[in-house]
Amino acid sequence: MRADTLFYNGNFFTPSRKKINWLTVKEGWITALGTGAPDRHLLVQKKVNLKNKYVLPGWIDAHVHLMLLGQRKFEVDVSSCRSLAELKKRVLGRKTQEVWIEAYGLDLEKWKETNPLTAQGLDRISSRIPLLIRQKDEHALWVNTSLLKRAHLEKRYPLGYLVDKDMEIIFKLRPKLSSQKIKGALLYAQEACVREGITSVHDMAMQSLPLKNLSELMRAKKYDLRVYGALYGKEALKEFYSPKVNLFQHHLTVRAQKLFIDGALSSRGAWLSEPYCDMPESTGYCLWQKKELLERVHSAFQKHFQLIFHTLGDQASLWLLKVLASKYKPQELGQRPLGDKRIRLEHVEILNREALFLMKTLGVIASMQPWHALSDGPWLKSRLGQKRLSQVGRFKDILKEKIPLCGGSDAPIEPHNPLWGIGAAMIQKGQRLNLQEAIHMYTLGGAYAEFSENIKGSLEVGKLADFVVLPKNIFRLHPKELLEVKTQMTVIGGKIVYAQ
């Protein structure tokens, strides 16, 4: 028997749970798994001693924003700022372009000051150069007067605060990124992912220019991370009008479209069935009309695209599911009319019982980010009140209803270490998953959500040789101890892409 690489002296976790301590790879695929000493007739070009470490399938992060993550390399981080004075010090303390200043990560929930941030406040940092500060959740931003005037928005948004769709007006004015800078950002994002054992990502809201540059990197064999893309924006949909599957030896697939039904909780744009407790006049908002949405769904299905919907509030999920059910009704009990379409709801951070039933009935996937519930924890009660907290992060209820579930990070908005997400899913109050269930979210659950469960998500002969090597047996650790576990090695297609 011939193989390219033998990985031996490891503890491999496989679906059969049989003790496996070696694995062979040929041309990127797993060709054999075994116990004891490898076959003495085995001919290999390379041998890798795993030194009794623990091997799991490569993590699949089902919700990442690659460009946003990569842009962190050259943007200003203001996530630790707690006042306008700190914000000014951070922004002016870093060298930036003279024509445009942009920062990310602002979290006003942690500010010491009670006065709201305004365009006039940002003018004290920069009155001449356009200044843009993005909120932590990337669903709201603040701009100074200079940028308001450039966008002709000083009368419409005198405070310089814009949310969701209105942000696009500002983004259109951004200086164009060079191809070199886009590629640099994508490579930075790849490095960040493989360092945490991530072998595949689902890139949400992928736009045309980054996608073109990503393709060029893959064509030049400079990008090992596997990417499943969800298109966003008219330009991307126009240029990539049909699905592209398993390009560059299963490294790139673009077969999904991303639609936003509502906004985010922190900016009070998530669409709720009842008003926000800290803003009783508002329930958030819906970004679509029923007729327009159904036309878009029909068009996507005709072109064989998967549809991925951002639905964060309970009313957003319920409204969308009712719209889908009005068109795609189950003809008989147990039938899931949209099961083969693998429609996904992203976030579903707040979910009511009726929506849960419709997800099961229609055959819809839940794509969730466990760390959100922890990150949002300090202010969730003030937004929702005590009564609605039981609707947050319903991981266990989703599994009980046999609804497919995949896990992600929403990086860079939240930390992208899958072990942190797995640990968070295991300590969710009232909805705790066990370790096996949480791992499934980041392996086979993610593979199913991208139509790839037959080639990735588990360590089996005939599947891609994607895996992560850990120093400890995580099945013997407390969930909080997972935060301290560091990836020892990341392997994609049998190639070691990261080693500590």
Q: pLDDT tens-digit profile of 176-194?
A: 999 999 999 999 999 999 9
Residue 279 and residue 286 in contact, taking contact as beta carbons nearer than 8 Å: no
CB 360 within 8 A of CB 401: yes
SS3 164: helix
Co-location of 241 and 105 in the same domain: no
Cα 215 from Cα 209, distance rounded (Å): 10
Question: Of the candidates 145, 171, 197, which is a domain's last residue?
Answer: 171
Same domain, 148 and 282: no
Region of 147 (left: φ > 0; alpha: ψ -120 to 50; beta: rest) is alpha
pLDDT at 361: 93
Q: Are residues 342 and 210 in the same domain?
A: yes
| The two three-digit tokens of residue 159, written as one number | 């405070």
> Model pTM greater than 0.85?
yes
Q: Residue 412, preceding bond cis, omega within 30 degrees? A: yes
Give the Cα separation of 132 and 103 in Å (integer). Answer: 6
Are 124 and 262 in a shared domain? no
| Last residue within a domain, chosen from 107, 142, 171 | 171
DSSP string across 250-291: HTEEEEEEEEESS--TTTT-S--SS-BTTBTT--------HH
Q: Is residue 393 part of a domain?
A: yes
Instruction: Please say whether the beta carbons of 230 and 258 come within 8 A.
Output: yes
Residue 487 lies in a domain: no
Task: State whether 163 and 306 are in the same domain.
Answer: no
Cα torsion for 225, 246, 56, 491, to the nearest 10°? -40
Domains contained in the chain, number: 2
pLDDT tens column, 259-310: 999 999 989 999 999 999 999 999 999 999 999 999 999 999 999 999 999 9
Domain end marker among 141, 171, 201: 171
| CATH number of the domain encompassing residue 109 | 3.10.310.70
Q: What is the dihedral of CA 358, 361, 367, 372, to 10 degrees?
A: 40
For the residues of 72-127, what is the DSSP string, one character each? TTTSEE-TT--SHHHHHHHHHTS---SS-EEEEEE-GGG-S--SPP-HHHHHTT-S
Residue 378: the pLDDT is 87
Give tens-digit pLDDT for 184-227: 999 999 999 999 999 999 999 999 999 999 999 999 999 999 99
From 36-40, 172-176, 197-201, 496-500, the region with the lowest mean pLDDT: 36-40
Q: Examine the domain organization and report whether 207 and 299 are in the same domain.
A: yes
Residue 108 has pLDDT above 60, yes or no: yes
**Confidence (pLDDT) at 332:** 61
Q: Do 326 and 382 fall within a single domain?
A: yes
Residue 241 maps to which CATH number? 3.20.20.140
Residue pair 337/328 in contact (Cβ under 8 Å)? The answer is yes
Task: Report the distance separating Cα 183 and Cα 186, nearest Å.
Answer: 5
Pair (412, 454) in one structural domain: yes
Predicted confidence at residue 95, as pLDDT, reads 57
CB 186 within 8 Å of CB 210: yes
Say if 50 falls within a structural domain.
no
| pLDDT for the residue numbered 465 | 98
pLDDT at site 234:
86
State which residues form the domain around 358.
Answer: 180-459
Task: State the first-to-last Cα distance of the chain, in angstroms, to the nearest integer.
Answer: 31
234 shares a domain with 129: no
Percent with pLDDT over 70 in the chain: 98
Residue 318 lies in a domain: yes
Per DSSP bridges, beta strands 20-26 and 29-34 are: antiparallel
Q: Exposure of 97 by Cβ count < 10 A (0-12 exposed, 13-18 middle, 19+ buried)? A: exposed
Q: Are residues 199 and 140 in the same domain?
A: no
**Phi then psi dihedrals of residue 418, to 5 deg:** -60, -30
361 neighbors 342 (Cβ within 8 angstroms) = no
Question: Which region holds residue 51: left if phi is over 0, alpha if psi is between -120 and 50, else beta?
Answer: left
Contact 265, 283 (CB under 8 A): no
Contact by Cβ (8 Å): 337, 363: yes
CA torsion through residues 87, 92, 96, 99, sign: positive
Structure tokens at 464: 């891609």
Pairwise CA distance, residues 382 & 106, whole Å: 19
